[in-house]
Amino acid sequence: MVRGRPLHSDPTVAPAPGAPQAWPQQVNGAGVGAAASAQVLGTGAPRVTVDYRVARHIASQVARQREELLKTTPEVDRAAEEQHCLNWINEAVALWSDAQGVERGVSSTQDEDDALRRAVYDLLYRAGRLQPYLDDERVEDIIIQGPDEVWLDYGDGQRRRVGPIADSEDELLELLRELARDSGHSERTISTASPTLALSLKDGSRLQAMTGLGPKTYAVIRRHRVSHADLDDLVRLGTIDPILREFLGACVRAEKNIMIAGKQKAGKTTLMRAMLREFDPECRFATIQTEDELFAHTNGYHRQVVSLIGRESNGEKDVTGRGAGEVTLLDLMHPALRMSLERIVVGEVRGPEVVAMMQALTNGAGGNLCTIHARRPDIIFDRIAELYALAQGNLSEQLAYRQTANGLDFIVYVDMTDETQIGGRRHRYVSHVLELTGIGESGRPATNEIFSPGREFGELRAVPRMDPGCVDDLRRVGFDSGLLQQPYGAWSAPLPLKVGVGR
C-alpha cells in the first residue's frame, strides 16, 4: 500500500514559513483553490531544502495530467482543476517518499514531504522558486543577479543571499515571462529583442528586469509591505502624527490638488494609497499608472475606479519612430479627462505626462493626486521643469513654474533616514508640507511651510508651523485649525535616531 500524507493531513504540524496555513480541501464535493483559500503564514524560506529536479519532474507529470483533464473535461472550473492537481501532487510525493525510504533506508520527514508539495504547487500555480520570498512579509526587495545569485533586502536593512531561483539563464527568462503572463500582462515579455520588462505581480509587487544588456539577466522585485494602510495606520507606523493626519485628510476632502514628492523607497506610494482612503467610496476617479501599485480598483473600498495602465512597445517602431503598441501615461491622460471623472490620480509623474497632468490640475476640478521623485524638497520645482523640457516642443521653465503654481495647492514631502549601516533602522516619515501661493519674485512658485521638521528640538518629522492661506476651506470640511498651534506637533518624543539631528 502506498503511504501518502495529504496536504491537509496534520493540523498540528506547523507549515514552513511562507507556506499556506491550510491546503485546499473538498467542500460540498467541490475543490477550493489554494491560491484563493490559503492564508500565508510566517516569514522566511522553507526549513528544509527542496530538490528542484524532483519538484520539476513531479510538476511536469502533474501538468500533463492537468492538460489531459482539460482536454477531456473542458467544462471543469479552476477550483476543481486545482483540487485534481493537489490530489495528483499528493500521490506523486507519496510515491517519491516511499522510494526515498527504500533508497536511503529511512523515510523522508513530514517537513521534507510538505516542502516538496509546496514547491510543486508553486511551480504549477504560483511564482515557482521565488514564491517563498514573495510570501515573506519581512522582505522589501528581491534582487536577482542571474539565476543563481539572489539577495533579499529586509525592512530592517539586513541583506541576505539565498539559493538559486533557476538553474540557467533560459529558465530564469522563462520564469520572468511566466510571471508576466500570470499577472495579466500578456503583451509584455522579455528577450534580446525586448530587453526590459516592467510589471506589477499579482500580489502588487513591482518587477523590473533586464536581459541581453550585460553578462546576466538582472531583476529587482520591490514588495509593498504596507499595501492597504490608511492614514490612521501611518500614524501608528510613525510616518505622520495625528495632527498631520487630520490636516491631510482635510486637504483631500476639501479637493486640494496635492503632489507627493520624495526619495526612492521613501514611501510615496504608501502615503498616496492611504490618502485615497479619504475619498468618498462613491467618488468616481481614474488611476493612471505604468504598473498598478495603488490597487484602488481592488481594495474593496472604492466603487467607481477607472484603472488605466500604460503599455510598453512590442519592440517594433512605427513610421514616426515610436514604439509600436506603446501607450504612455500622456496618451492615457487625455481620454481619461472625458470619462466623467471627479478626480485623477497619477501614480508617478516621470516624463512629459507632467504637462497634461498640470493642465488637468489647472483646468479641471480639484482633488487630484500625483507623485514625483525628488531628493530634496527645494529641488521639486526644478524637477518639474526638467520633465517639461522632455515634452514635445521643449516647453519652457517659465511655463512649468506658472502651471505648477496655478495647478498645485500642496506638496507633501516624504523622507527616509537610513541608519541600518550603524545598527539602526530605516525611518520613513513626512518631513514637509508646502502650500503653493502663486508666483514669487524670481518667477518660481512661492510657498509657505505649513509643516516642516522641528530641528530646533531634535525632530526630523513634520510639525506645524503656520496656518495655510486656504484654512477656511479646510474648516468647512471639519478641520480644527487649532491643531496647527501646537509647535511640537503630537509626537510623544523625537524620532529615535542613533545619530542626533544637527540644529
Q: List for the chain the helix, strand, coil content (%; round to 5).
A: 35, 20, 45
pLDDT of residue 72: 92
Residue 38, pLDDT > 50, answer no
Give the pLDDT confidence of 168-194 residue by residue, as tens digits. 999 999 999 988 888 776 667 898 888
Return left, alpha or beta for 295; rule: phi > 0 is left, psi -120 to 50 is alpha, else beta.
left
Where in the chain do CATH 3.40.50.300 domains reside?
A: 231-485
**429 residue type, one letter:** Y
Give the pLDDT confidence of 413-425 residue by residue, as tens digits. 999 999 988 888 8
Mean pLDDT of 378-399: 89
Give the pLDDT confidence of 290-311 residue by residue, as tens digits. 878 888 888 888 999 999 988 7
251 vs 203, which has greater pLDDT?
A: 251
Give the relative orientation of helices 110-125 and 52-72 as an angle to the nearest 10 degrees.
Answer: 50
Region of poorest pLDDT, from 171-180, 188-197, 207-216, 483-492: 188-197
State the pLDDT confidence band at 273, using cuts at 50, 70 and 90: very high
393 vs 162, which has greater pLDDT?
A: 162
Where in the chain do CATH 3.30.450.370 domains reside?
A: 136-222
Cα torsion for 61, 62, 65, 70, to the nearest 10°? -140
Model confidence pTM above 0.85? no
pLDDT of residue 32: 32
pLDDT of residue 316: 64
Give the pLDDT confidence of 92-139 residue by residue, as tens digits. 999 999 988 888 888 788 888 999 999 999 999 888 999 999 988 889
Looking at the domain that runs over 231-485, which CATH code has it been given? 3.40.50.300
Pairing status of strand 426-439 against strand 459-464: unpaired
% of residues, the chain, pLDDT over 70: 86
Cα–Cα distance between 475 and 483 in angstroms, integer? 11
Cα–Cα distance between 301 and 225 in angstroms, integer? 19
Residue 13, pLDDT > 70, answer no
156 vs 474, which has greater pLDDT?
A: 474
Residue 29, pLDDT > 80, answer no
Q: How far is CA 82 from CA 24, 37, 122, in A?
A: 9, 12, 12
Decide: helix, strand or coil at residue 380. helix
Residue 40, pLDDT > 60, answer no
Mean pLDDT of 362-371: 83
pLDDT of residue 36: 30
pLDDT of residue 47: 60
pLDDT of residue 225: 67
- The matching CATH number, chosen from 3.30.450.40, 3.30.450.370, 3.90.1650.10, 3.40.50.300, for 136-222 is 3.30.450.370
Residue 332, pLDDT > 60, answer yes
Enter the C-alpha cell of residue 232.
Answer: 490612521
Q: Select from 322, 343, 327, 324 the least CA-distant residue to 290.
A: 327
27 vs 325, which has greater pLDDT?
A: 325
